[in-house]
Amino acid sequence: MHRLLTALLISALLITGAAVSAEVTISTPQDGDVVGPSTPIHGQCSQRAFLVVVTDVLASDGRNVGMVPGIRHWTNDDNSISVRIATPRISFGEKEEPVTYVIHVRAYTALDLVESGQAPDVGEVEIKVKSG
């Protein structure tokens, strides 16, 4: 029964467009959303976790033009995720162009795993959004 409920929950999240890993769910923003210069991220972890959020910036032609250092923050006491990240506007020459932000939310059980460069042991989610 537990497996069926888990499968139904994951299916529902995929249908709504939420980003999901086995242990990390991001409800907002969703893939394809248009975001402002400051973007709130909300979601849930299966356990208390240390979050590392970084953002890759892609030009309209797909070139990676930079990375926005993100935040490092523990999940809330109820394991929810509620952080705000920078999604700055980018100018190429004199005109501002729309860009795509690839937001990586990585969750770890301990800070020392981050510092040692290990892969996230709780989970990782990637969301692609566009500048507004």
Q: Region 31-56: what's the mean pLDDT?
A: 94
What pLDDT shows up at residue 19?
A: 60
pLDDT tens for each residue of 76-102? 999 999 999 999 887 777 777 789 999
For the whole model, what pTM was predicted? Answer: 0.79
pLDDT at 7: 42
Tokens of 41: 């991220």
Average pLDDT in the 26-31 region?
96
Determine the Cα–Cα distance for residues 126 and 31; give it in Å rounded to an integer. Answer: 9
Structure confidence at residue 22 as a pLDDT band (50, 70, 90) = low
Among 123, 131, 1, 2, smallest CA distance to 58 is for: 131
- What are the sequence ranges of the domains in the chain? 2-131
Supply the pLDDT for residue 90. Answer: 79
Domain 2-131 belongs in CATH node 2.60.40.10: yes
- Beta-bridge partner residues of 53: 71, 105
